[in-house]
Structure 1
Amino acid sequence: MDRNLQQVNTILNLAKLTVSDIKKESHVLQFIPQILDSRQVKLLEVSKDILEYIDSGECLFIKGSDDAHVIICSNSKTFELKEAETSNSLLLMPSLTNGKLIEDTGSRTLKKQEVFGVYHTYYEMRLTKPKLQSLRIALAKYPYKGKNSEVTKEAVGLSFTELKSMIQASEEETINQLQEMPAVKVKGKWRLFDVSFLFGWVSYLDSILREKKLSLEEITSSDVEDWMGLYDTENVNAKCISLFMDVDESNLKWKSKAVSQLFALYLLPELRAFDSKDFFTAWQQSMPVGVMADEEHLNGVALVDYDSTPSLVKYLPEFELPEEVNERLDILFRNRAKWTLPSITPYVQPLTDNNLNVAALLTKHTRSSTINGVKYYSSKY
């Protein structure tokens, strides 16, 4: 039924409004007969930045699976999708003139406005830190053990396009993670380095340096690339350099923590636990010249249990723990009742996001205590 100005005035009166309280143009809502099914068409609330991003021609990508929460990504950021309810009715209309754009001149008019849908829920986008453990799990199925261990000439591994479709993260975040983790592209496919290969690579270079009676600081990246050219391909050697060396112009220096953690990962897995005295001796003796073993370098890779007899070094790499915070903390506190901040940080840092840093996460999920001036974190339950 079409409304007229008299009917609109009657409604204004019931609402205790006058004609002077409204614009000259009034919109009359009419619901179309074939109203949209709210289960098929969803509403998404976006920020001004995301709206500008979409208006620029860029896309948002929705990713999810049966065993993972649905997320939505831009090219560089990852967001959680959360359904929100509203007590008001949200009306879906093809176009609606903003009240500020309606000129307050001329005579009063009515404009028909069709309503295509009525909603009481919508989706919110909340910026989140992507869970990238699945990237390592996917690439671990294709370990790279060196060019001489390849059994086929065909490319093995996962292309970046395949990774983008299966990993719940933005393209930029996935690229950054691939650069940071021990992964390499071989024949156009991404692979995860085998720990034994990396251990062999560092040890082989160290043996060359010992033979030539040189330290790493005395050579250049070109020297390393030339010497290691027989060991493996150019891009593999370049990635190994980035993983284990700091390059300052022409000067090189071992990344002590990265090298120490690699050698710990190589020594521990078979036994899972190692007499601490024997471990520290073997660990230091295996190190390249110039790298000193430091117990703090084990944080995030292994823990030292001084309560056992004899004391043990236990294999506990961060990347093998679940990404759900309570599950991860449960495993950590079953292995050690009390943790200092430096020792637990590498295990919980990957679970933080823009709204929850390490301190806030530990405050929320753990109990703290101070012993002899040192703060410890323990299970809340």
Structure 2
Amino acid sequence: MDSKQVKLLEVSKDTLEYVNSGNDDAHVVMCSNSSTFELKEAETSNSLLLMPSLAHGTTIEQKSTRTLKKQEVFGIYHTYYEMKLTKPKLQSLRNVLARYPYKGKNSELAKDPIGLSFTELKDMIQASEEEIINKLQELPAAKLRGKWRLLDVGFLFAWVSYLDSILREKQLTLEEVPLTDVEDWMALYDSSDINTKCISLFMEVDGDCLKWNSTAVSQLFALYLLPELRAFDSNDFFTAWQQSMPIGVTASEDDLNGVALVDYDSTPSLVKYLPEFELPEDINERLDILFRNRSKWTLQAITPYVQPLTDNNLNVAALLTKYARSSTINGVKYYSSKYITHTQ
């Protein structure tokens, strides 16, 4: 076996599991501290010669006679790799963290810290350090004892519900309570790091003033109510959904965008569990699933599902123009599959 053709690579257990999980469609990337570049092979009609050194015309001494010099060529190439700035696909970050869900301090039985260090995440995720950090801030993820974990939906639901029960008992709204009081109350529930993360996820903070982030809270409660059934009678769902909300939060059907969809064509009408983070990152595969669940989408409804796939060159509208078909009905623009699909 030619040792130049086969290379041995030692990897960690977590990295091996990630490789074996089926991520064989990923391209090679190069990362700076803040950006990710995709390497793709390109062809050229010119022959590229690889030489150890080459004298350029401006450096050749001008003489009356010419001297020929033997030049060794190490290789002739008709392809090369070009480096293009790309938006990294960070769904894998959530997937690897999901192996280590955090369900609250009372559920922690292991003495040793579990989860993934930031160094391990950098080794596993094809993205720059800054992009990984930014995504961790967006995700319901937190670092405990030096390891990153994904906060369980059930835990987050219980966290919001616990704070709401305190407010109800005291007959207060969140807007009437300073941030320091919330931090003191929730200190009994979990660690300060976890509480700080939950506050950033579900509240709008202006100095010491607080307000529920209605969309974030509504989506959390939908994610908590829907998964086991996958589909829910719409009348029953909207009733249970609103009744479970904290004081001051009014759920809107628009809040379901990116989390679930309402199928009014079925009898009875159903709310279907369809979170963006569970869909494939390939644009064609993702759109195929979306159009099988709903034949026509408005731009507002489909944007949360397409936005994560945009890059520096293509925004949501451009991606849909390229991969979907548009039509206008009663003055409203809809997007549908370029191919015939059947609604499930």
Per the TM alignment, residue 97 of structure 1 is displaced from its structure 2 partner at its CA by: 4.9
Note the alpha carbon deviations across 1:1-34, whole angstroms, 9 max, x for none. xxxxxxxxxxxxxxxxxxxxxxxxxxxxxxxxxx
- What pairs up with 1:257-268 in 2 under 5 angstroms? 257-268=215-226
Per the TM alignment, residue 110 of structure 1 is displaced from its structure 2 partner at its CA by: 4.5
Note the alpha carbon deviations across 1:169-225, whole angstroms, 9 max, x for none. 111111110110001111111111110000000111111111122221222222211
Match of residue 183, structure 2, among 225, 231, 234 = 225
Gaps of 5+ in 2: 7-18, 340-344
Does residue 346 (structure 1) correspond to residue 304 (structure 2)? The answer is yes
Q: Which residue of 2 aligns with 1:275?
A: 233
Does residue 102 (structure 1) correspond to residue 59 (structure 2)? The answer is yes
Q: Which residue of 2 aligns with 1:149?
A: 107
Per the TM alignment, residue 308 of structure 1 is displaced from its structure 2 partner at its CA by: 1.1
Percent of aligned pairs with the same residue?
78
Per the TM alignment, residue 104 of structure 1 is displaced from its structure 2 partner at its CA by: 7.8
Work out the number of aligned pairs and report it.
321
Per the TM alignment, residue 92 of structure 1 is displaced from its structure 2 partner at its CA by: 2.4
**What amino acid is the match of 1:367?**
R
Per the TM alignment, residue 69 of structure 1 is displaced from its structure 2 partner at its CA by: 2.3
**What amino acid is the match of 2:218?**
S
Q: Which residue of 1 aligns with 2:88?
A: 130
Q: Which residue of 2 aligns with 1:35?
A: none
Q: Find the aligned partners of 1:257 and 1:372 in 2 and give their Cα distance.
A: 28
- What pairs up with 1:295-334 in 2 under 5 angstroms? 295-334=253-292
Per the TM alignment, residue 257 of structure 1 is displaced from its structure 2 partner at its CA by: 0.8
Q: Find the aligned partners of 1:238 and 1:346 in 2 and give their Cα distance.
A: 26
- What pairs up with 1:47-58 in 2 under 5 angstroms? none
Cα gap change, 1:109/1:216 in structure 2, threshold over 3 Å: closer, same or farther?
A: farther
Match of residue 91, structure 1, among 38, 49, 56 = 49
Q: Find the aligned partners of 1:214 and 1:379 in 2 and give their Cα distance.
A: 49
Note the alpha carbon deviations across 1:103-152, whole angstroms, 9 max, x for none. 88665664845543332211001111111111111111110000000111
Q: Find the aligned partners of 2:287 and 2:94 in 1 and give their Cα distance.
A: 21
Choose between structure 1 and 2: higher strand proportion: 1
- What pairs up with 1:36-51 in 2 under 5 angstroms? none
Cα gap change, 1:107/1:211 in structure 2, threshold over 3 Å: closer, same or farther?
A: farther
**What amino acid is the match of 1:231?**
Y
**What amino acid is the match of 2:59?**
I
Per the TM alignment, residue 89 of structure 1 is displaced from its structure 2 partner at its CA by: 1.8
Gaps of 5+ in 1: 1-37, 41-63
- What pairs up with 1:54-73 in 2 under 5 angstroms? 66-73=24-31
The secondary structure found in structure 1 opposite 2:28 is strand
Q: Find the aligned partners of 1:346 and 1:331 in 2 and give their Cα distance.
A: 14
Match of residue 337, structure 1, among 292, 295, 303 = 295
Per the TM alignment, residue 72 of structure 1 is displaced from its structure 2 partner at its CA by: 2.1
The secondary structure found in structure 1 opposite 2:335 is strand
**What amino acid is the match of 2:281?**
E
Q: Which residue of 2 aligns with 1:251?
A: 209
Cα gap change, 1:108/1:346 in structure 2, threshold over 3 Å: closer, same or farther?
A: farther
**What amino acid is the match of 1:136?**
R
